Each structure stands twice: as C-alpha cells, then as structure tokens.
C-alpha cells in the first residue's frame, strides 16, 4: 500500500475536506477550486484505488500513454487525461459517448473511440503500441477475457489497472467466487501485483494491479 500519487494528482481541500484532485475543466458537477477539480472515489473505480492507497504505478506526465476501457460519459477518464499524456477512451454505448465527446473538447490529449472493448481489433489501427497503462472498468461478463484481449497494447513494463464488478459477471454468485475465477483466468497473461476490495466506495468490486507476463 502507498500514498504515492501520479504527477498532476494532489490531495487538496474542498469545503473543508481533503480530496483527490486534478487540474481541468469540470465534467460531472464535481467541486472545484480555481483550476483544480475534486476526484470523487465514489464515482470512480480508479479514484477509489488511489484513495485506498493502491500502488497503481501511474507516473503522470505528457509521455505517459493510457488506454481506458469502459470510459462511459468520461467521469474517470477525464481525470486521467488531466494528468497523463495521450489517453484513448473506448466506449461502446452511443449515449454516454456523447458526454465523453463533450469532456474531450477541453482535453486535447483525450481521444474518444466509439468501439467495443471486447473487440480490440476494431481500434488497433488507432491506439499506439506499448501504452503505459490499460485502465479497465467494463460492466460486462468476461472481464478477465477483455483484459487478456487488450494485453496486446501494453508495453512490457506496463500495468493493467482493473476494476472487477462481480455483479456484472454473475449476480447470483458470491463475489469472492467470481473474483477467484477472474484471478485464475487473468493468470493466462498477467501477474497480479496487488488487489483490494473497493468498499466502501464500490460494493462487490475488486481492484487489481497487474503486469503482463512475457511472451
């Protein structure tokens, strides 16, 4: 566990409370203080991982490239694009993608892609090779398989930052059983470095930090 934050992410006070924050235009009604905007861990799995002290190994800076799977309306990926370099945001649903496009208007390093994270071949011609991090938050069955299919984009020393939603896999099973299956499948292509349940911010979610195994 660590409290090391990426460059461009700070703990600042909003309304008397210390919060994670990035510099950028507000996106979802979050509190602001001049150029800083609060990062709400209750609305962001990656934000929760940082709040809980997980070592996500994001350096921040213009040279860091990120592939974000499951960008939705841009709540989290907008924060990522505030502190990272080129950030490719994959979202399949057209309605949240419209909000994602709006979030990208003030962020020249954010590149929205209307595509299915389960079919990386549909955006492989756009996403540069050897990205530093794949951040995944997709509410679908087969979350481990999505991570494995997108491993092709990761640099050898890159990181997978995965939020596993147990109820998206099987609402009838115990979440710990679901997480065990995800761990087993991920082992086909990743070494898990750290994991932690994301409560109290997100019920029945597991945050995972992993690195790709060598070929």
- The model's confidence at residue 215, banded by pLDDT at 50, 70 and 90, is low
pLDDT at 104 over 70: yes
Q: What's residue 214's pLDDT?
A: 78
The whole-angstrom separation of Cα 10 and Cα 39 is 10
Cβ contact 197:206 at 8 Å? yes
Note the pLDDT tens digit of each residue in 33-68.
Answer: 999 999 999 999 999 999 999 999 999 999 999 999
- Residue 91 marked ligand-binding: yes
- The model's confidence at residue 167, banded by pLDDT at 50, 70 and 90, is very high
Tell me the whole-structure pTM to 2 decimals.
Answer: 0.95
Domain range summary for the chain, segments of one domain joined by +: 41-212
- Of 2-6, 168-172, 203-207, least confident by mean pLDDT is 2-6
Other beta carbons within 10 angstroms of residue 60's beta carbon come to 17
- The model's confidence at residue 4, banded by pLDDT at 50, 70 and 90, is confident
Mean pLDDT of all residues in 156-161: 97
- Residue 99 marked ligand-binding: no
- Residue 139 marked ligand-binding: yes
Cβ contact 117:90 at 8 Å? yes
- Residue 92 marked ligand-binding: yes
- Residue 97 marked ligand-binding: no
Other beta carbons within 10 angstroms of residue 172's beta carbon come to 5
Note the pLDDT tens digit of each residue in 141-151.
Answer: 999 999 999 99
Q: How many residues does the chain have?
A: 215
- Residue 122 marked ligand-binding: no
Q: Does domain 41-212 have CATH number 2.120.10.30?
A: no
Q: Which of 172, 174, 162, 167 is nearest to 206 (CA)?
A: 162
- Residue 75 marked ligand-binding: yes
């Amino acid at each position: 566990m660590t409290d090391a934050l990426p460059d461009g992410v700070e703990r600042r006070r909003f309304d008397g409370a210390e919060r994670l924050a990035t510099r950028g235009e507000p996106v979802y009604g979050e509190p602001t203080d001049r150029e800083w905007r609060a990062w709400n861990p209750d609305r962001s799995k990656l934000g929760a991982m940082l709040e809980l002290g997980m070592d996500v190994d994001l350096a921040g800076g213009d040279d860091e490239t990120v592939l974000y799977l499951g960008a939705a309306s841009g709540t989290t990926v907008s924060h990522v694009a505030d502190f990272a370099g080129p950030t490719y945001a994959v979202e399949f649903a057209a309605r949240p993608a419209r909000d994602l496009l709006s979030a990208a208007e003030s962020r020249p390093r954010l590149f929205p892609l209307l595509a299915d994270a389960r079919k990386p071949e549909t955006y492989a011609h756009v996403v540069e090779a050897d990205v530093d991090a794949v951040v995944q938050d997709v509410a679908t069955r087969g979350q481990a398989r999505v991570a494995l299919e997108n491993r092709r984009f990761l640099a050898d020393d890159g990181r997978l930052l995965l939020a596993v939603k147990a109820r998206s896999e099987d609402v009838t099973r115990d979440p710990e059983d679901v997480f065990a299956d995800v761990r087993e499948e991920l082992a086909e292509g990743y070494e898990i470095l750290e994991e932690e349940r994301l409560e109290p911010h997100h019920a029945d979610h597991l945050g995972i930090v992993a690195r790709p195994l060598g070929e």
